[in-house]
Structure 1
Amino acid sequence: MKKTITTVLCAGLLATLAAASPAAAKEGLSWRDCGDGLQCAELQVPVHWGDPRGKEITLGLAKLPAKDPATRKGTLFINMGGPAQQISVLRQTKDSFADLTQWFDVVTSDPRGFEASTEVKCPTSYPIPEDVEWVMPDRATYEAYRADNRRFGEGCAEAAGPLAGRLNSWQVVRDMDAIRGALGEAKLNYFGNSYGTVVGQIYAGTFPDRVGRMYLDSVLDHTDTSWIDWLTPQAKTQEGNLRRFAAWCAGTASCALHGKDLLKVWDEVMARAARRPIPAPGAGAKVTVRDTLIASRSPVAFESAWPGLAKALAGAHAGDATLFAKFPAGAPDPALSRVMYCADFPYPTKYREVKGLERRLRAVAPRIGWTSAWVMAMHCGGLPKTTTYPPRPINPRGLPPILVANGDYDHATPPAHGRRVAAALKSARYLPAKGGHALYWSGHPCVRKHVNTYLTTGNLPAKGTTCGPASS
C-alpha cells in the first residue's frame, strides 16, 4: 500500500476549520512611499481564520504602482516563493517585474510570521549538522539531528505565541483573499512562483469564483497524496540532469573528462568515497561519499556549474578531492520557512520511512536522484506536531483559464508536478520550457512573452506550444 500524506489535525478541529468562512477584511489600504519605488501599507486580519472575530495580526504589503494609469489593467498579486519574506525580495528584484507594471499595480505581502507582517523570531537557528546534508549516514546521526530540530521547532512555537499552529497555507490563502477585498478587486489576478504556486493551487480550489487570471511558474504539486509519486519526478529529473552533464562533457573538448565515460568516472568516485574517504590535501580534509553528493547535487542541475564539477570529478578520480571539499554549501532556508513548509507538506520522517522511500527511488534514480528522499526529512525531521494542511485534490469547478509553466530541467519543482497540477485544474494550459527554476523571474524570453500576453488579454498559448532554451 502506498504511503499517503496525512494530517495531524484531529477530526473536531478539521470540522471547525472546514466550516469557517473568511471574514471580510477591513476595507481600504493607506499606501505610503517606502523607498525603492515601492509603496507600503498594512492590513489587519484574524490570527486564526477559524475564529475570525478573535485576535488580529498585521500583514505588511508592498506595491509597485503601474507606470501609466491610462494603460493600467488592474492589480496583480505575486508570491515569489519560499515560503519566505516577499517585500525585501521584491525590492531587490523589481526590475524582473518591470514589464508587468506597464499594465498592473504589482502587489505582494510578507506572509504571516515574516518580516513586515507580524513576525515570528525563532530564538535559535535550525540545526546544521557538521559534514552531513541531504543524506544521513546512519540512524544514530539522524536521531540526533531530529532531537536538535525538535528543540529548534519548540523554540519557534513558543516565540510564535498565538500564531503557533496558524502558519500554513490554509491561513495564508485566506489572508490573500482578505488582501483582494482590501484592494477593492472582485477577482484576484495572481502570479505564483515556486512555493507561491502552492498558495495559488489552494486559492483556486478554495475560491474558484474569485480567480481572475492566474499564472503558476515552477509548480510544486500540492495535489498528490502519495509521497513516492511526489518524489519520483524530482529524482528522475535530477538523474536526467546528470545524464545531460555527461552528454555535454562528451561533446565539449574543454571538459576535464572529455574523452572519458563520465558516468563511469562518477560511479567509481562514489564507490571509492564510500569505501574510504578520498584525500583532499588542498583543503586539509578528506571527502566521503556524502561530501561528494552534497557538492554535486546542485551543480548537476546548472549548466554553468558543469565545467567546475567535471574538474572536481577528475581530481577525485585521480585521488585528490580538494575541489569537492571547496564546493560551496547550499543556501540555507529561512528559519521559519521549514516550519510552514512542513505544515503544508507533513513528510514522513521516521528513519525507516525515509530509508524505505530512498530504496524505492534508487530503483529509478540510482546515481543521485535517490537523495531526494532526504531533503524533506532534513527540513521536517523532529519538528513538533502542529496544525497541518497536507496535499489534497483540487475541485476545479468554475475556474477560468489558468497558465502553468515548468522548466524541463528543474528537479526542485519538476515538470511532472506542473503537468499534474495543470491536469487537475482542468481549465489550465501547460507550457513546457527548456530551462530550470523560476522561468519568468529568471528572464526566459519565450515564457515571458506568453505570460505577458495571457495576463493582459486572457488568451492562453495555443495547444502544443513549447518554449526552447532561453538563449535560442
Structure 2
Amino acid sequence: MGFAYKLGAVLAGTVLAFPGGTALPRHGAAAAPEIAWAPCADNRAVECGELQVPVDWGRPGGARFGLAVARLKAAEPGRRIGVLAVNFGGGPGTDFVQGAASTYFSKEILARFDIVSFDPRGMGRSSPVRCSADIVRREPLPTPRDQAEFDRFRAYTAELAADCRRRTGPVADHLDSVSGARDLDAVRAALGESTISYHGVSAGTLPGQHYAELFGRNLRAMSLDSVVDHSMPTGRFLKSQAANAEDAFVAFARWCARDRACALHGRDVPQIWDGLMVRADRGTLRDPAMAGRVLSAYDLATEAHLGGLMGPDYSWLAKRMASLESGKPGPRGIVRGGPPPEMREIEHPAVAGCQDWRLTISDHRRFAALAAKMRRVAPHMRTQPDTQAFALTCALWPVEPRNPQHRLKVPAGTPPILLVNARHDPATGHTRAVRVLRQLGQGAALVTYEGAGHGAYERTACTRRAVDDYLLHLRVPAGDGLTCER
C-alpha cells in the first residue's frame, strides 16, 4: 500500500487547550471503570481485557467503544515496580504483549514491571477503521507529474476518505492523538495506578510526548526510542525527512567502502546508485527477479528505504543493487501491492494519521517546488518515500486536522524523559531527537547509538543498559547524554 508512513498511532496536540481537559481521577479518588481480565486466546500467559472509553472525550457521557488491552504481569511480584505501558507505533499493542514483549525487554524489566499495551482506537480490536479494499487497490503513487495527475490524486483521496468514514462510523472522527492520550490515562486509572512508566518506539514516541503534556504528573518515567518531532511545518518537515534518508544512504555507502561483506565493496556505490536512478527515470530499469517489472525512481527509493536503510543489515541492499546493475539474478525486490483479492475491507492509517498533521500542498506547482527542495538536500535518494506518500495524502485529505503540529510544552512536575536514537535513522533522524530534547528542556537526556537503522534499544548492550537503568532506577545520563558505539 502506498501510504506506508504509519503515523496513525502518533500523538500530537496543542497546549492542554482541549475539550474535557481534566485528567481522570488518580489512585484513591473516585472509582474508575475496571477491566475484566481473562487469559488471551493466543497466549494464555498474558491477560486480555476491554475498557469502555468515550468515542468523543469532549462528551465523556456519550457513546463508548471497547478499547482492547493486554497485560503481561511482572515475573517477580514481590519486586514489582508498577506498570510499564508500551506503544510500538503502527500496530496493535495487544499483539506485541502476547508476542514480542517477552523477548524484546530484558529479564529484569519483565521481572519488575507489568507490561501493558492496547490497540489504539481505530486499530486492531479497538473499533478498527474499515475502508474498501477495492478503493485501496487503486491507490496511485504519490508522484503526480502535472496538475491533471495531482487532481486525480485529490479525487482518489476524497473518495477514500468518504468510504472509510461511512464504513467505520463516528469513531473515525475521533482518532486524533489527544484522544489516544486520554485513552492511555483511562487505562492507568482502570489499573488503579497513581503513576505509570511508558516506553514508546517510532510512531509510539508521539503518544508519549503528548501524554507528558496532558498528564505529566501521572508519569513515573518515560523512555522514547526513535523520536518523532511533531513541531515542523510542511516544507521543513519534508526537507528534514529527505535529509534523513540521504544521511542513511551515505552511511550505507561508507559501510560498503570499509566492509568486505558488501557485494559492492571497492566500487563507487553512490555512482552505481545514481546510474540506477537514471535508468529508472528513463523507464529502462528492469527487475531481474520479477519478469516484466520495470522500476520507477520512487520504487527504487522505496526498496532502499525499506529493504536496507531502516534495518541494521545492509547486505540485502548491496546485493539488490548489484543485481539491478548487472541484470543477473539476485534478491527479490520489495513490491508495494494492494490488499489480496479476497479481502473486502482493510484498515487505512490515513484516517487517523491525517487528524494529527496540517500539511499544505495546494497544487502541483507547490508539490514540484517541495520535491525540488527535497532533491537538493537528498541528491542521491531524492526523497524519503514514506514521508512523501504521507504528506501528499494528508495534504489532500478532506478533513480538517483536529490536532496539528506544535512545539511541546510539558508541565512542571513531569519527571525527566529519556530519548534514544540511532545516528543514521532514515525515518526518525537524529536531528529530530535533538529538536525534541530542546523542546523538553532541562532534565531530559538523549542516548545516541552511533549506528544505523530504525529502533535503538535492542541494537547494543549499551543502549539496552541505558534504557533499563533509567526505567528501573530512574537514573538519567548526565551532561550532554550518552553515546553508544556500534
**If the length of structure 2 is used for normalisation, what is the TM-score?**
0.84
Find the aligned partners of 1:101 and 1:287 in 2 and give their Cα distance: 45
Aligned position for 2:97? 90
Aligned position for 1:21? 22
User: CA distance change for structure 1 residues 65 and 348 in 2, over 3 Å: closer, same or farther?
Assistant: same
Structure 1 position 44 matched with structure 2 position 52 = yes
Find the aligned partners of 1:104 and 1:384 in 2 and give their Cα distance: 43
Find the aligned partners of 2:138 and 2:16 in 1 and give their Cα distance: 39
Shift of 1:188: 2.5
Shift of 1:140: 3.5
Pairing partner for 1:277 from 266, 284, 293? 284
Aligned position for 1:6? none
User: 1:234, 1:369 within 8 Å by CA — same for their partners in 2?
Assistant: no
Shift of 1:379: 4.2
Pairing partner for 2:429 from 414, 438, 452? 414
Structure 1 position 394 matched with structure 2 position 408 = yes
The residue type paired with residue 119 of structure 2 is: D
Q: Structure 2: 5+ residue runs without aligned partners?
A: 1-14, 26-30, 340-345
By relative contact order (CA 8 Å, sep 6+), the higher-ranking structure is: 2
Find the aligned partners of 2:118 and 2:191 in 1 and give their Cα distance: 12
**Could you tell me the percent identity over the aligned residues?**
31
Q: What is the root-mean-square deviation in Å for CA atoms of aligned residues? A: 2.9
Find the aligned partners of 1:266 and 1:43 in 2 and give their Cα distance: 51
Find the aligned partners of 2:100 and 2:117 in 1 and give their Cα distance: 13
Find the aligned partners of 1:414 and 1:16 in 2 and give their Cα distance: 29
Aligned position for 1:436? 453
- Three-state SS of the structure 2 residue aligned to 1:28 is coil
Deviations 1:271-316 (A, max 9, x none): 2332342345662344443433333333341576644433443444
Equivalent pairs, count: 450
Structure 1 position 30 matched with structure 2 position 2 = no
Aligned position for 2:465? 449
Shift of 1:42: 1.6
Shift of 1:119: 3.1
Structure 1 position 108 matched with structure 2 position 122 = no
Shift of 1:163: 1.0
User: CA distance change for structure 1 residues 32 and 273 in 2, over 3 Å: closer, same or farther?
Assistant: closer
Aligned position for 1:354? 367
Find the aligned partners of 1:387 and 1:54 in 2 and give their Cα distance: 22
Structure 1 position 55 matched with structure 2 position 63 = yes
- Three-state SS of the structure 2 residue aligned to 1:205 is helix
Aligned position for 1:219? 227
Deviations 1:111-139 (A, max 9, x none): 11222223333243663558x64644444
User: 2:129, 2:347 within 8 Å by CA — same for their partners in 1?
Assistant: no
Deviations 1:70-115 (A, max 9, x none): 1101111111111x32112332212213532211111111111222
Deviations 1:20-65 (A, max 9, x none): 4355583333222124111012211111111111111111111000
- Three-state SS of the structure 2 residue aligned to 1:60 is strand
**If the length of structure 1 is used for normalisation, what is the TM-score?**
0.86
Aligned position for 1:8? none
Aligned position for 1:153? 161
- Three-state SS of the structure 2 residue aligned to 1:293 is helix
Deviations 1:377-415 (A, max 9, x none): 354354331452111122233121111111112111111
Find the aligned partners of 2:232 and 2:380 in 1 and give their Cα distance: 26
Shift of 1:266: 2.0
User: 1:233, 1:411 within 8 Å by CA — same for their partners in 2?
Assistant: no
